[in-house]
Amino acid sequence: MEHGKLVDFLGLTFDVSSVMMTTIAAAIVFIIAVAATRTLALRPTGMQNFMEWVMDFVKGIINSTMDWQTGGRFLTLGVTLIMYIFVSNMLGLPFMLSIHEGNEHIAWWRSPTSDPAVTLTLAVMVVTLTHYYGIKMKGTGEYVKGYFQPMPFLFPLKVIEEFANTLTLGLRLFGNIYAGEILLALLAGLGTSSALGAITGGVAMVAWMGFSVFVGAIQAFIFTMLTMVYMAHKVSHDH
């Protein structure tokens, strides 16, 4: 199984590959955002048109989960999540770079979302934000009371649900992207096995890469949608 370069620093272990790829994904999203908003026009074209489409799409996600007066403040969170996760999902598609070090394969270029530590960290950050805004917008008393409604004996189940939501949110994204990259690696191996393998593997790889773009987009949408659903349960008074 491939993994990134592990480095110990101040008693902590860091995956250099994941840190590097996460930074690259963030830089790409930042460049896209700057390019799209550099010269704003009343009649948007090009990158500005794309960015406005993304914002309208995220607005639709928010409006489907909570009223806009409550959810409008989460627009930037939703746009950031959907763009960052989509870009991260796409980084490992064109190629993957790994280096043999002894008996291990050290992956240097891959999708950061194929690392469970990255996806689970995103999930923890999102769930923590839902608790923060729940307390901020409802008040501590009303927020805590929600864990004992409609019946007090449901409190343990609601606590378990919080952990389950965090795990499923992170592992769903990781599983889909990691499985896609593993299959691409297997098809690449088939392509180098023989002439027939090159033809078969090449056709299958092109088809799978096209499907992986679809999967990556869907997973970015699902992660953002579930984020807003969890947020709505915490901040809306009718949930």
Domains in the chain: boundaries: 6-235
Owner of token pair 């608790």: 131
Who contacts 94 (Cβ-Cβ below 8 Å, separation ≥6)? none
Identify residue 70 by its one-letter amino acid code. Answer: T
Residue 80 predicted with pLDDT over 90: yes
d(CA 235, CA 239): 8
The tokens describing 144, both together, are 């805590």
Say what the pLDDT of residue 75 is: 93
pTM to 2 decimals? 0.86
Q: What is the pLDDT of residues 5-28, one digit of tens each?
A: 666 667 777 777 888 889 999 999
- In degrees and rounded to multiples of 5, residue 65 shows phi and psi of -115, -25
**CB-based burial of residue 190 (10 Å sphere; 0-12 exposed, 13-18 middle, 19+ buried)?**
middle
Residue 30 predicted with pLDDT over 60: yes
Q: What is the pLDDT of residues 82-137, one digit of tens each?
A: 999 999 998 887 766 666 566 666 677 788 898 888 999 999 999 999 999 999 98
